[in-house]
Amino acid sequence: MDASTRSGEQDGVATATLAAGELEATFATGAGMVCCSLRHRGAELLGQRRGLATYAATGSTMGIPFLHPWANRLAGLRYEQGGRTVTLREGAPGVRLEEHGLPMHGLLGGSRDWRVAVLEASDDEARLVAEFSFERPELLESLPFAHRLTFTAALAPGALRVEITLRAIGDAAVPVSFGFHPYLQLGGERAALEVTLPARTHLALDARGLPTGASEPQEAERAPLGERTFDDLYAVGEDPVAFTARDAQRAVTVRFEHGYRFAQVFAPAGQPFICFEPMTATVGALTHPGACPLAEAYDAAFAVEVASTMGA
């Protein structure tokens, strides 16, 4: 059998590990379902930053964290969606503020409340399914739309695929603005990375990282990362698109399959990682009525594909 699964623990956090071919992925089932490790031939491909224990305690991102019910930052503490007005309270469960005092990265970072429903392997695929019921009063204080989430991770020999299914509880549609934040860290020097970006529309951001309303189409490109930096938001449309980082040993592609219409590319100066972030809505969408979809059911999927470039 080429695929396998196992349960374990890392830094005091419950984990589930999937293995298929030369890939191995570990998810922190006891801390927000973050993918805390993705290894190819034993080499770690994800930025560990401050580590899993810190993520579990503070929500400080690493690996591939799930950002729900919003990705990146909001424009303020107050928002209106679906006929309801909410004022987020600093210090409420999951509410974390960044340097400008804006809510950052949703409410579920480090959450212990995911329930593993499936952990299994077939001949060529390992699969993990976990579920989350977003209906506790302390969470509904910050997002008063009860719903259930299903997180499905499937690992095949060449790719990790992650699908999120959101279903409203009752007949109230849920604002959809979740996303993921993959920290890709390949083995070579940052300056030697080659980056491939699809055709996209650049959405200008202000000094706080919020959209200004200005936009500009950009053609697909393939070029060295070199000394370039990114903290850029893009609209990518409904069709599947792919972002790739490549070094002398391997190419890692983040492929948006469906449900993700926006992307943030993040590669700050002096850091060894680059992020291609799938997002269902633009930055700050929750704080702008009409900027994110309202849905009773929503599905979104992306994949991280890994291929050797040695000898290519």
Dist CA 36 CA 206 (whole Å): 31
Tell me the CATH architecture of domain 3-308.
Answer: Distorted Sandwich (2.70)
Q: What's the predicted TM-score (pTM) here?
A: 0.97
Instruction: Give pLDDT, residue 92.
Output: 94
Residue 236's alpha-carbon distances to 59, 180, 281, in angstroms, are 28, 15, 11
Interatomic CA distance for residues 127 and 119, integer angstroms: 6
∠155-161-163 over CA atoms, to 5°?
Answer: 125
The helix or strand, by DSSP H or E, that contains position 139, with its residue range, turns out to be helix 137-140
List all residues 6 or more positions away from 246 whose beta carbon is below 8 Å from its beta carbon: 186, 193, 194, 195, 196, 252, 309
Per the CB < 8 A criterion, the answer to whether 73 and 181 are in contact is no
Q: Please report, for residues 80, 142, 261, the alpha-carbon distance to residue 84 in angstroms, rounded to integers and kept in the order given.
A: 6, 11, 25
**pLDDT digits over 239-292, tens only?**
999 999 999 999 999 999 999 999 999 999 989 999 999 999 999 999 998 899
User: By percentage, how much of the chain surpasses pLDDT 90?
Assistant: 94
* pLDDT, tens digit, 9 for 90 and up, residues 138-153: 999 999 999 999 999 9
**Taking residues 99-107, what's their average pLDDT?**
96
